[in-house]
Amino acid sequence: MRGAGGRRVRRFVVAGALVAAGVLVALPAGGRKSAGVAGAEGTAGANRMAGVAGVARPGGGTPRVAADGPTADAMTLPATTGRYQVGTVALHLTHWARADPWAGGRTHRELMVSVRYPARAGAGRYPPALQLSAREAAAFDARNNLSEQVPPGKVQWAATRTSAHVGAPLAPGSATGVHRASRKWLPVVLYSPGVGDPRSFGSTLCDELASRGYAVVTIDHTYEAPAVEFPDGRLARSVLAAELAKAQKTGRITELLKKVSGVRVADARFVLDELAGRGAASPLPSGLRRALDLHAVGMLGQSAGGFTAVQTMHDDRRIKAAVNLDGVMGYTQRDDDPSNPSTVGREGVDRPLLLMGMAGNTHHTVASWGAVWRHSTGTWLRDLTLRGSRHASYTDAEALVPQIARRLGLPHKDVTALIGTVDPARAVAAQRAYVSAFFDRWLRGRDDGGLLDGPSGRFPEVQFVP
């Protein structure tokens, strides 16, 4: 979308703020850790799965399948295509050494994360993971990145189920045929969502990676997402509207953008620390803990989450490869503005980076992408455009918006404003193929058949940007 003077700005309203290209823009004036908690995979306190991933279930017996099946209003996400079914466990993590910067330092930083992983056959007997708990869904309904086109109260956000199953046992061995429970066979991928999105709004892509043999850890950035529900029933609501109002009044928008990015990167690095915990210090169920290969860690994200992924890779050597799905990588309010660069923009990266942008966004047109591209020497870089796409095409909106449009009778212009003109099924297939190929190449050393090396007749929607 074009702003004043022809400047390109991608606009999404969230929590009273304007999110442009993954960063906040001023509107005009006017642990102990607890593992196995349901979180978004069933309202807090429900479906607690201490028996996930190879640990005996308390009391044994057959897992309970949710009695209430999908409602008539439930939307569906695309089924996974990998060889595995998908399990999930949610974790409540507390960073005792860090005061929460959004809470005025009055409390320690707390996060909810979910781990998606390949599950044994029969995972469908376990409860399907909800995309959002009822209370998180209510907050998302009130303010979300689709609100300009989708009015509140019209969508049953709490009814959407993902492909993952809560507490399903971890699949044995590895995709290479080794079947030793002690083998660390799961590469790890962290996922960071865009500003104003919950961690579950990338379920289509994250569940797909898990079905292909990855452990995918999705992170809720507390006080950014519309609401994050903790196991004890507390609901941490977004503070961005208030923070933006203060930044507008004091002329400190750039400082706010830097704070958002800094908090996110610190969250991601803390999650990596927690995943490396051993024995009682680990928040993970023991079977899953033994399977993670923390020497093969990647990160991806959409919008501000894409910036988070690349900045985290710049700051932390544990990240071996990163994917940025249409996220600006500088502290700016415009795509084409080179001012206020991030450290990754000034210095680049020295490990593999995949950029995937909406139509029109490349390292030639997005200033921060160009900066990272110029300063990343001697490493593998790719810049891909998904023709006909929009910013939200890289989220679950690609699958959900067409369903919403049919039910609400949304005009075609509203649909294309959100997800563009690319065929949704093709957009999902392309993202799955290229992101999976990228991590297969750089975390597993697998041949992708040249998919990442040049245009493919299988995916004419994908343009390679030289």
pLDDT tens digits for range 86-118: 999 999 999 999 999 999 888 999 999 999 999
User: Any residues with CB less than 8 A from the CB of 285 and at least 6 apart, and which?
Assistant: 35, 36, 50, 51, 52, 53, 54, 55, 89
Mean pLDDT check: name the lowest of 68-77, 286-295, 317-326, 327-336.
Answer: 68-77
User: Any residues with CB less than 8 A from the CB of 325 and at least 6 apart, and which?
Assistant: 300, 301, 302, 303, 305, 306, 356, 394, 431
Give pTM, 2 decimals.
0.88
Strand order in the sheet with 11-14: 11-14, 17-20, 23-25
| Predicted pLDDT of residue 72 | 56
Residue 43 scores a pLDDT above 80 = no
Distance of alpha carbon 434 from alpha carbon 451, whole angstroms: 7
| Predicted pLDDT of residue 71 | 54
CA-based nearest residue to 198, from 147, 145, 154, 258: 145
CA distances from 401 to 76, 135, 160, 203, 409 (A): 11, 21, 13, 15, 11
| Predicted pLDDT of residue 443 | 98
| Predicted pLDDT of residue 434 | 98
| Predicted pLDDT of residue 128 | 96
Helix (H, G, I), strand (E, B) or coil at 325: strand
| Predicted pLDDT of residue 280 | 86
Is residue 385 within a helix (H) or strand (E), and if so which, with residue range? strand 381-386
Mean pLDDT check: name the lowest of 86-95, 142-151, 168-177, 256-265.
Answer: 168-177
CA-based nearest residue to 231, from 66, 46, 32: 46
Instruction: Please state the rounded mean pLDDT for residues 203-225.
Output: 98
Give the chain's length: 466
pLDDT tens readout for residues 59-79: 333 444 443 444 557 999 999
Instruction: Please state the rounded mean pLDDT for residues 439-458.
Output: 96
For residue 123, the number of C-alpha atoms closer than 13 Å in the C-beta half-sphere is 30
In the numeric block, which tokens belong to residue 355? 């950029």
